[in-house]
Homo-oligomer: A and B are copies of this chain.
Amino acid sequence: MNAQGAQAGQGGHSGQDAAAAAARAGTRLDPWFTSYADRAHGMRASEVRSLFAVANRPEVVSLAGGMPNIDGLPLDFLAEMTAKLLRERGPRALQYGGGQGEEELREQIVEVMRYDHIHAHPDDVVVTTGSQQALDLVTEIFINPGDVVVAEAPSYVGALGVFRAYQADVVHVPMDDDGLVPAELDRTLTELKRAGRTVKFLYTVPNFHNPAGVTLTLKRRPQIVEICRRHHVLILEDNPYGLLGFDADPLPALKSFDADGVVYLGSFSKTFAPGYRVGWALAPHAVREKLVLASESAILSPTMMGQLSIATYLSTYDWYGQVKEYRSMYRERRDAMLGALAEFLPQASWTVPDGGFYTWVTLPAGLDAQAMLPRAVTNLVAYVSGTAFYADGQGRDHVRLSFCYPTPERIREGVRRLATVVHAESELVSMFGTATHHDRVGDSVEFPSPDQV
């Protein structure tokens, strides 16, 4: 958000007042400032860009980003495979495709979802530009401004950004080490109904949660489904990490308990690679129809080259063997991170993820993750402040640490640097009773500012 927008936001003006004021004050900076839609005033610089910027500086150990480590991919195989695809099926691979995505790929997606105990039909799959686009499309077709989305506390920052763009109100429901708490969900939905609010869906990441690192237990899964069905609330089940469990096969997806009540989102970004931007939604039939229409309007059709490349990879390479390699690679990194936390930061606490990319760290009492971030980056380690994962300003006592990208040695070094910062901050807290007197990161500083993470 530019300076006018921030100013207007602080003043608490309505969108139109703010626009008018800014138009008087600064139209030379943005001649179109008064023309934006209401929703655009809520768009804030996302953490995604900032995290990339930080992660790309080689001297910083980034425990912030969610980029998968794809160094293990068989590049020679992919080079040969892709050359053959272009020679033999080039005119098709380089052409437009249908809006729903290629049947050849949708059939294979159905096979991939069997690992989640889902028995689906390719007709109900919509291929999207990463599962992020699926998230955007589902929100587009369901959310009117002011509708409620119920989501875990904390929640995936990219989902919160989508919900904000469509002017949804996010209401968080507590989690514990077993995932989303059913009784809390039931209570929240009941209260929202009593308050006359329109709840459109529950957004949930049941497996290896981003950022919390926990997994919804098998016992709770049918309970969550039953509660949502009883309240007539759709479930949006986001499962990018499901196949990356370190010790066991995936638990049955929520979708497997209630095909009509759940839209399931999947992705090849973590099990293969993000570079083609291919994900999918599996939706009840009528919802699927709307998703296709919305996707055609947004992008006409998903990339044929990406779809056929992934379909060919799935059908000609031991892709599940590659997933197993990813698992053991990420397990080693998880172990490095938890070991370093125990060694260097015993005064903090953290979740123990059984898969995925993240652990969720509770800082020692009195520390402020957001205020501490500039000092951390000065000490050449980056994380994401817990505040990024809430729609309501919670999370200052938490940081998300990701162990997906750096080597185990770098992870250990990053946690060591973080511990140095935490110890220094803790000393200040014990001397002055608070650490929040530190300068906040301003716009002039070239790492994530408070409204960016």
Contact = CB atoms under 8 A, between A and B. Distances in A.
A2 B288 CA distance: 12
Given A286-B32, A290-B36, A94 B79 contact: no
Nearest to A40: B141
A84 interface: yes
Given A48-B99, A141-B40, A83 B93 contact: no
B200 A293 contact: no
Contact of A46 (B44, B49, B78, B296): B296
Nearest to A283: B32
A321 B122 CA distance: 41
Nearest to A31: B260
Contacts of A86: 75, 78-79, 82
Interface string A133-150: 100100011111001000
B300 A276 contact: no
Given A37-B144, A75-B86, A299 B96 contact: no
B2 A286 contact: yes
Contact of A32 (B35, B49, B52, B287): B287
B94 A37 contact: no
Interface string A222-252: 0000000000101000000000000000000
Given A39-B141, A49-B100, 16 more contacts: A30-B284, A31-B232, A33-B286, A35-B234, A40-B141, A43-B290, A52-B96, A76-B87, A94-B273, A96-B274, A96-B275, A130-B300, A133-B298, A133-B299, A276-B305, A303-B306
A314 interface: no
Nearest to A166: B37
A318 interface: no
A116 interface: no
A303 B290 CA distance: 24
A294 interface: yes
A316 interface: no
A296 B97 CA distance: 23
A73 interface: yes
A301 B277 contact: yes
A127 to B, nearest CB: 12
Nearest 6 A/B pairs, CB to CB = A30-B286, A94-B275, A94-B273, A79-B83, A75-B90, A83-B83
A105 interface: no
A439 interface: no
Contacts of A285: 30
A87 B79 contact: yes
A48 to B, nearest CB: 5
Interface in A191-223: 200-201
A20 to B, nearest CB: 13
Number of copies of this kind of chain in the complex: 2
A29 interface: yes
A143 B39 CA distance: 9
Contact of A298 (B136, B201, B232, B260): B136
A370 interface: no
Contacts of A67: 95-96
Interface stretch (A157-165, A329-337, A348-356, A408-416): A157-165
Given A31-B260, A70-B91, A305 B275 contact: yes
A394 B309 CA distance: 43
B87 A75 contact: yes
B35 A2 contact: no
5 contacts: A46-B99, A48-B296, A79-B86, A136-B297, A305-B309
A292 interface: yes
A126 to B, nearest CB: 12
B136 A43 contact: no
A287 B36 CA distance: 9
A71 interface: yes
Contacts of A162: 297-298
A280 to B, nearest CB: 14
B300 A158 contact: yes
B277 A40 contact: no
Given A86-B78, A95-B70, A140-B37, A277 B303 contact: yes
A276 B52 CA distance: 23
